[in-house]
């Protein structure tokens, strides 16, 4: 008898959390200090950004204003893309709707984007650590947190969600069974031009 899909997802999620905690513990104090420094840097930047947004309101009339308006339509029971039109995908609007149900519209925008930026920085650190060592990966993640300021990355824009999803997809692609088979194939066929293009790409990353 097969386990219910929910139970399978729950077990897989538990395994993923266990692996992450195991990796953090393996890195011990160095990894924890790195994560804390990411939180400190992004927290300082977020506080400055929140102050600018609160006193000037310069960013509330951009994408965030449209996102929250669409979220209001969803919460009130109106139809997406009919009562209010914005070309962004629905998952973004349902996420913002959940935010607005939990707290007043716009009150946790900077907090959520800061958390997403920290998650992205950690994923960049993981990618860099595997290819260039811990210092190179950590530096890349730290630079991401700082550079995000210049792309309005601490305000509610859709790009940061995209960066997070792309990084997760990249890591999953590198660690998938297919990618592993491609790497093995590349080693066996070194110097050969018969490798499928998809394997050539994955083996190169």
Q: What is the model's pLDDT at position 46?
A: 85
Lowest mean pLDDT among 21-30, 124-133, 162-171: 21-30
Q: What is the model's pLDDT at position 156?
A: 80
Whether 193 has a pLDDT exceeding 70, the answer reads no
End-to-end CA distance of the chain: 40
Whether 203 has a pLDDT exceeding 50, the answer reads no
HEC secondary structure over 145-203: HHHHHHHCCCCCCHHHHHHHHHHHHHHHHHHCHHHHHHHHHHHHCCCCCCCCHHHHHHH
When computed from its CA atoms, the radius of gyration of the chain, rounded to whole angstroms, is 21
The answer to whether 164 and 177 are in contact (CB under 8 A) is no
For residues 187 and 89, the model is more confident at: 89
Query: Is 56 exposed, middle or buried (CB count within 10 Å of its CB: 0-12, 13-18, 19+)?
Result: exposed
CA distance 168 to 183: 20
The two three-digit tokens of residue 202, written as one number: 């994955």
The model's confidence at residue 140, banded by pLDDT at 50, 70 and 90, is: very high
Residue 121: closest CA among 158, 154, 95, 96? 154
**pTM greater than 0.75 (yes/no):** no
Whether 186 has a pLDDT exceeding 70, the answer reads no
The two three-digit tokens of residue 106, written as one number: 């716009």
Residue 89: closest CA among 98, 78, 80? 80
Whether 121 has a pLDDT exceeding 90, the answer reads yes
Average of per-residue pLDDT across 86-99? 87
């Amino acid at each position: 008898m097969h386990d219910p899909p929910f139970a399978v997802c729950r077990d897989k999620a538990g395994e993923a959390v266990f692996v992450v905690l195991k990796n953090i513990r393996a890195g011990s104090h160095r990894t924890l200090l790195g994560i804390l420094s990411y939180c400190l840097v992004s927290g300082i930047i977020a506080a400055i950004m929140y102050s600018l947004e609160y006193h000037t309101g310069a960013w509330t009339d951009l994408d965030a204003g449209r996102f929250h308006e669409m979220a209001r339509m969803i919460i009130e029971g109106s139809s997406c893309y009919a009562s209010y039109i914005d070309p962004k995908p629905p998952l973004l609007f349902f996420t913002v709707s959940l935010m607005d149900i939990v707290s007043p519209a716009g009150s946790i925008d900077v907090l959520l984007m800061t958390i997403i930026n920290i998650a992205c920085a950690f994923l960049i650190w993981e990618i860099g650590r595997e290819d260039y060592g811990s210092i190179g990966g950590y530096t890349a993640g730290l630079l991401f947190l700082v550079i995000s300021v210049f792309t309005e990355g601490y305000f509610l824009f859709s790009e940061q969600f995209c960066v997070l999803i792309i990084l997760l997809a990249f890591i999953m692609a590198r660690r998938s069974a297919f990618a592993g088979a491609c790497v093995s194939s590349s080693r066996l066929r070194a110097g050969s031009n018969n490798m499928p293009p998809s394997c050539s790409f994955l083996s190169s990353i």
